[in-house]
Amino acid sequence: MSKETLAKSIREIPDFPIPGILFYDVTTLFKEPAALQELSDTLYEMYKDKGITKVAGIESRGFIMGPILATRLGAGFVPIRKPGKLPAETIEESYDKEYGKDTIQMHKDAITEDDVVLLHDDLLATGGTMEAACKLVKQTNPKKTYVNFIIELKDLHGREVFGKDVEVETVLSL
């Protein structure tokens, strides 16, 4: 299976979640065993030599490949969630997104200064959610932070919001 085949497996849903947004549904990649394995293998190859100790996945689609990748890398998994979903003490970051304002949280003790963190989500559009996640993780002063997406929408220039100290990689560019 190739990246082109993976890209063709993604379902496009117009006007979701609001009119004017073209939503790229990655669940079609997850339901096909061959596509899921290819995606898992591709992500593993991208990060196997980076010393990752924690993979942080953003709610909700980052909760699918994030734990799979963490397991393959021998790393822990850290959920980054919407407010009120985590039971212990949290830190948070608020941000603007394409169609509203939001806040994300993670457990205060989830990441330490000894960690090398890979932040993972399904889609890079304008970068607001992941930029907030980076700020959130950086509050814990990890050794290094990497950012990964399954899909990048190149025309929206989302990667420009990240500093030069953050490596941003994607599996697919659309």
* Cα–Cα distance, 23 to 27 (Å, whole number): 12
| Cβ neighbours for 31, distance < 8 A, ≥ 6 positions apart | none
| Residues forming a β-bridge with 57 | 79, 120
* 10-15 contacts at long range (C-beta below 8 A, 24 or more positions apart): 10/151, 10/172, 10/174
Burial annotation 137-158 (CB, 10 A radius, 16+ → b, else e): bbebebeebbbbbbbbbeeeeb
* Cα–Cα distance, 165 to 173 (Å, whole number): 22
Catalytic residues: 61, 98
| Residues forming a β-bridge with 39 | none
116-124 vs 54-58, strand pairing mode: parallel
* Cα–Cα distance, 23 to 10 (Å, whole number): 10
